Structure 1
């Protein structure tokens, strides 16, 4: 009988001491053994290193703050396991998460990676913005369940070491949306499985400014990947867009009643209704889990996110047209 494989869990961290403690406690409670946990601290200025050292884990450090791709690469190079599992320091896995991911990889040799989902409840309470971000991503990852192409949910990702030797490393130049880059290489060669059977609670952004800034940046930097590779993952799936065109048009036509008369108010209202209808399944899901008043607030947040994505797409397209460096942002040969 084949013994259980050693799994190396690689946890990149930068100034996430409160959630890092919960992340490592959850790894300590995993049912799968043997387990090697490697925390790679990326120049934290809080007490993250002290938190990590209070657990039975290996602690490594980047020379300077360099981003999650560099931290993950350092951890992968030091790992000894047959399976590498990348887990962000703001995620606390369910006790069976590692065991479930390993079981999928073991029984399905054609699967080169397993991506996990977020629980519907955030790791730490924090208000509407955090709850919206967490619930939205849970919903879209659920829709994507099965074999996925061109994007990765990088916060919970299990990859056999032999596969990582072929498709790695993470592109050190990318500090945002690095999953699209690795996802292209993985899905070109292997099946990649998204599943909610591998799940963890996630601590997302608590303020609107940070959340919208990330949405804008991630949408913008996905444009070269989307246009050069002709993959929808960067702009549609991974950039959290849903069907945002109606939302953008509704916003653009809002001044029409003032310019052309009250009758034109029907147009932005119709476009807004079309936008809401395009995500009707999602809103039914939100209502079933949170109730109607919350769903109204959720829809308002979702509208802001879709409008921000529209701005990100526009800016990204302009940069793609005028900047050769930007067009080559996802040149995978530079990551090798």
Structure 2
């Protein structure tokens, strides 16, 4: 043999950028200047309007690497991100996929941007280990595992949605081992407004995520409702229900429990962004949870509609050479 199996492993970064975001060049440079950089970087910036699922599949068709690393065009990878990704696959030959987290130093300031990016960081940092989901903001998949499940479902998810979560569910259902490694990190460069947060929570994440839970069962809930996150969601739902029913004696302890369960998140905001962001975070987390709860009936309707139109689901298969 002229080389080892390790030498034969190659890495392709695939970055969907069909909306041509202003952050794209910065994110590409972060990839190129990272330690242990990939063997190739593929930026999919056309056709305009193609969703991220379709763009990632298009990039995967062009890629030559045995490991496909998906990096969003608003995520600047940390210098050691690829070193950690390589180590994960080398240490566990059976690993099908690994993904990371946003860091706790978002470059875009502002109350809503800080809250949203820190919430994502907090959830991923407290959910490390074996996963049944995936995150394409900064995540890697073995090529053969990706092909075996036919890639991202670009028929069902034509706009930014939960296409990465759904891919992870199919990978896990096929027997693939997936890990969330909180040390694999990138800086999120996205600017959030309250309106964009609400739209995301209601229509782009909450509604399709509810439909996905109904379609795939409890596994679809394990990241966002894992451990204390699930308890907090239950406390919020019951607290809101008792408040609407006028049962204030029950609502008060549930509200206190909800606040106590989220103390670590509030403390993170306080330490990283100051008392103003922490105070705003208390309110914004309630808004976030209320929007997620409000998306549930929309998700039920989306699930029913999706069932009706999926009889010919994905007529063509992803073909990678």
TM-score, structure 1 length as denominator? 0.81
Q: Which residue of 1 aligns with 2:99?
A: 115
Q: Which residue of 2 aligns with 1:15?
A: 19
Pair 1:273-2:262 in alignment = no
Q: Which residue of 2 aligns with 1:308?
A: 291
Residues 34 and 194 of structure 1, relative CA distance in 2, 3 Å threshold: closer
Give CA-to-partner distance per residue, 1:226-271, whole Å, 9 cap, x none. 12321243486189975234334444555677xxxxxx65554333
Q: Which sections of structure 1, spanning at least 5 residues, go unmatched?
A: 42-60, 258-263
Residues 230 and 277 of structure 1, relative CA distance in 2, 3 Å threshold: same
Task: State the alpha-carbon separation in 2 of the partners of residues 34 and 249 from structure 1.
Answer: 48
**Counterpart contact for 1:118–1:138, Cα < 8 Å:** yes
Q: Which residue of 1 aligns with 2:151?
A: 169
Task: State the alpha-carbon separation in 2 of the partners of residues 289 and 211 from structure 1.
Answer: 21
Give CA-to-partner distance per residue, 1:161-190, whole Å, 9 cap, x none. 222221231111212100122111211221
Correspondence 1:30-41 to 2 at 5 A: 30-33=34-37, 35-41=39-45
Q: Which sections of structure 2, spanning at least 5 residues, go unmatched?
A: none
SS of 1:237's partner is coil
Task: State the alpha-carbon separation in 1 of the partners of residues 20 and 56 from structure 2.
Answer: 16
Q: Which residue of 2 aligns with 1:325?
A: 306
Pair 1:160-2:147 in alignment = no
Correspondence 1:61-210 to 2 at 5 A: 61-62=46-47, 64-122=48-106, 124-149=107-132, 151-173=133-155, 174=157, 175=159, 176-188=161-173, 189-210=175-196
- Larger displacement relative to structure 2 (228-237 or 179-188): 228-237
TM-score, structure 2 length as denominator? 0.85
Please tell me the root mean square deviation across aligned C-alpha atoms, in Å. Answer: 2.8
- Larger displacement relative to structure 2 (164-173 or 229-238): 229-238
The structure showing larger relative contact order (alpha-carbon pairs under 8 Å, at least 6 residues apart) is 2
State the aligned residue count: 306
Residues 246 and 155 of structure 1, relative CA distance in 2, 3 Å threshold: same
